[in-house]
Each structure stands twice: as structure tokens, then as C-alpha cells.
Amino acid sequence: MSMEFTAQQIAGLLNGQTEGDATVQITKLSKIEEGEEGSISFLANPKYTHYLYTTKASLVIVNNDLVLTAPVTATLIRVESAETAFAKLLEMYNQVKLNKTGISKLAFISESAKVGDNIYAGEFVVVGDNVKIGNNVKIYPQVFIGDNAVIGDNTTLFAGVKIYSETQIGKNCIIHSGTVIGSDGFRFNPQNDNQKIPQIGNVVIEDDVEIGANCAIDRATLGSTILRKGVKFDNLVHIAHNVEIGENSYLAAGNVIAGSTKIGRNCMFSGQVGIVGHVEIADNTIITAQSGISKSSTKKGEVLMGSPAFEASKYRKIYVHFRNLDSLVQRVNKLEKEK
């Protein structure tokens, strides 16, 4: 995608003031230490200030209160917060870059599907029977949407997403490549030669949810697996059948949540957290990386650590003793020999 603006135009978008050549042309974004001619960068972290005087970037966004200590070759745009302004610029750039429209001749959309206005459907998209797709939805190449699924307005499905039948996805959601939603829950009957138990429920994803790449969210045995409004997943998260994730909870990469577990609101789980099935985690719980949760946690706002996990401050104290265990054993052995 080509982007070409003058410093003056960008300053107008950011409500900033230019300092230097306001007509300089900008065609790309860059880090300040990797700046090149025709690029725009920003300076927010004081540790990077020295790059301002050596960067080859043509335009740099800086804070209003920055005092120059040497000449600069780049044009500057002064704003209240360089970091906030650059984030706004990135968002605008991303919107332009991802603003695809039109339905490819190589996409297949069932005649019984209902499709909203201004959608994009790329090559080899398959949309099944009785699917309902809202307005301004973007469906990238090789996405599969199964029968009776619902996709809300302004949702984006990146390349290769697979959505099984009956799945419901809300508005303003983003689902990244390789993610599978609605695959069967992992249920077999060990008393009957491990016969597979049919999974006839679905997955419900509410508004404003973002799901990273290569996640797997299983359909419910009965009822629904539910991701509430504002949930955010990193890559490689697995959610088992009948799990419910509360509003605005964040799960980092590698989280695994077993069946029928209920996660509260505003929880934050670091990488590789594992939680057993049929437990409840209270609102505002924080779980540190590689922790294993083996029982319910009912106290709101608790920080859990370890495997099996318990309150983090206690865990850290106990871990100090664990690290000293070998020397303690040697001291005990020495004392016993001296008796």
C-alpha cells in the first residue's frame, strides 16, 4: 500500500506544529534508530533522544517540551504526547491498509446466506447455508464459515480462519489467521470403549473481542462456550467445551482452559497458564506465567503463582526456602553426624 503525505498534512491530522520543512513528503513509517529518507518516526523515550540528531528519517514526532541540544536535519512535529500521536497515526495507517472491499469472483457464498453492505470477501472464501453477515465485515482469503453462523458488523476474519456451524460472533471483533472456532469438545466415554460424545452446542463470542492466531475454541457439548464482551486472546490459546470467559479478560499466549470452567471479569493471565475443568476464577484475578490452577479461586483481585498455584507473595517466600533446601539438608546431615 502506498502512503504519501506532507509534514503539514500529518501535523494537521495530529493537531501538532511543524518545525522545519513542512512540505517534506512522507511515504512510510520507521523506528527512529532505523529511520530513512521519506519516513516518519517518533521520540517518546528519553533513552532514544540521541537518535534524533543522527536519524535519517525525514519527519519525527516529538513532545512539545523537548529542548534541542544540537541541530536536526529532520522536520519535527511537536505535540502534547509523541507516543499517543504516533499510536493514532499507526491506527489511521492500519485502517487505510486494511480497507479492502468487494467480493472476489473466486469466493463462494451460499444463496441462502444474508450478507450486509460493504463487505470484503477474498479468494476461496466459503460461506455456508443460512449464514448471517453484518455490514462492513472483512473476510480474508481461505476463510470458511459454516452453516447458520452469525458474524456481526465491522468484524474482521483474517486469512485461513475456520468457523464451524452455529457459531455466533458479535460486532467489532478481530480474529487472526489459523484460528478455529467451534471444533468439537474433547469428550469421550471411557465406560463405553471411549465412544465419542456428540458435541451439539455452539460458541458465542460477544462484541469487541480479539482472538490471536492459531487459537482453538471448542463448541459446547450442550449450550454454549462463551467469550464475553471485550475479551482479548494472544496466539495459541485453547478454550475447551462449555468454558465461559468474563468481560475484558486478557489471556496471553499458550493458555489452556479445560471444560466447563468459568473465568471472571477483568482477569489477566500470563503465558502458558493451565486451568483444570469445572472450577471458577473470581473477577480481577491475575495469574503469573506457567502457573497451574487446580481448584477454584473465589477471592477477587488475587494474584496466583506456581503449580499448583496459590497466593503469589506466599509462593515467593516459600520458593526462597525451596532454593535453599539443599544447603539446609546438608546442615541437618552435618548436625546429625556431630551428635
CATH number, residue 39: 3.40.1390.10
Residues 89 and 110 grouped into a single domain:
no
Instruction: Select from 97, 117, 138 the last residue of a domain.
Output: 97
Say if 227 falls within a structural domain: yes
C-alpha–C-alpha distance, residues 102 and 96, integer Å: 15
128 plus 224 within the same structural domain: yes
C-beta of residue 32 within 8 angstroms of C-beta of residue 83: no
Residue 241 is a catalytic residue: yes
Overall domain count for the chain: 2
Is residue 35 domain-resident? yes
Domain assignment present for residue 327? The answer is no
Please check whether residues 193 and 286 belong to one and the same domain: yes
**Mean pLDDT, the chain, whole residue set:** 95
Query: What nine digits make up the cell of 73?
Result: 536535519
Residues 17, 166: one domain? Answer: no
Residue 186, domain member (yes or no): yes
The whole-angstrom separation of Cα 17 and Cα 133 is 43
Same-domain pairing of 255 and 287 = yes
Q: What domain range is 26 assigned to?
A: 5-97
Could you tell me if 283 and 264 are in contact, meaning their C-beta atoms sit under 8 angstroms apart?
yes
Judge if 191 and 213 occupy the same domain. yes
Q: Of 50, 176, 238, 241, which is the active-site residue? A: 241
Evaluate whether residue 140 is within a structural domain. yes
**pLDDT for 254:** 98
Please indicate, yes or no, if residue 92 is contained in any of the structural domains.
yes
Q: Are residues 87 and 109 in the same domain?
A: no
Whether 84 and 107 share a structural domain: no
| Domain-ending residue, one of 97, 125, 141 | 97
What would the DSSP string read from start to end of 32-80?
Answer: GGG--TTEEEE--SGGGGGGGGT---SEEEEETTPPPSS--SSEEEEES
Q: Are residues 299 and 183 in the same domain?
A: yes
Residue 226 lies in a domain: yes
Domain boundary among 54, 70, 97: 97
Helix (H) or strand (E) holding 321: helix 312-323
- Give the domain CATH number at 279: 2.160.10.10
Q: Are residues 114 and 214 in the same domain?
A: yes
Taking the CA of residue 224 as centre, how many other CA atoms within 13 Å lie in the half-sphere pointing to its CB?
14
Tens digit of pLDDT per residue, the chain (339 long)?
A: 356 899 999 999 999 999 999 999 999 999 999 999 999 999 999 999 999 999 999 999 999 999 999 999 999 999 999 999 999 999 988 888 888 899 999 999 999 999 999 999 999 999 999 999 999 999 999 999 999 999 999 999 999 999 999 999 999 999 999 999 999 999 999 999 999 999 999 999 999 999 999 999 999 999 999 999 999 999 999 999 999 999 999 999 999 999 999 999 999 999 999 999 999 999 999 999 999 999 999 999 999 999 999 999 999 998 888 888 899 889 889 888 887
Do 164 and 193 sit in the same domain of this protein? yes
Q: Are residues 51 and 158 in the same domain?
A: no
Asked if residue 337 belongs to a domain, the reply is no
* Distance of alpha carbon 136 from the chain centroid: 21
Write down the residue that cell numbers 496459590 correspond to: 310
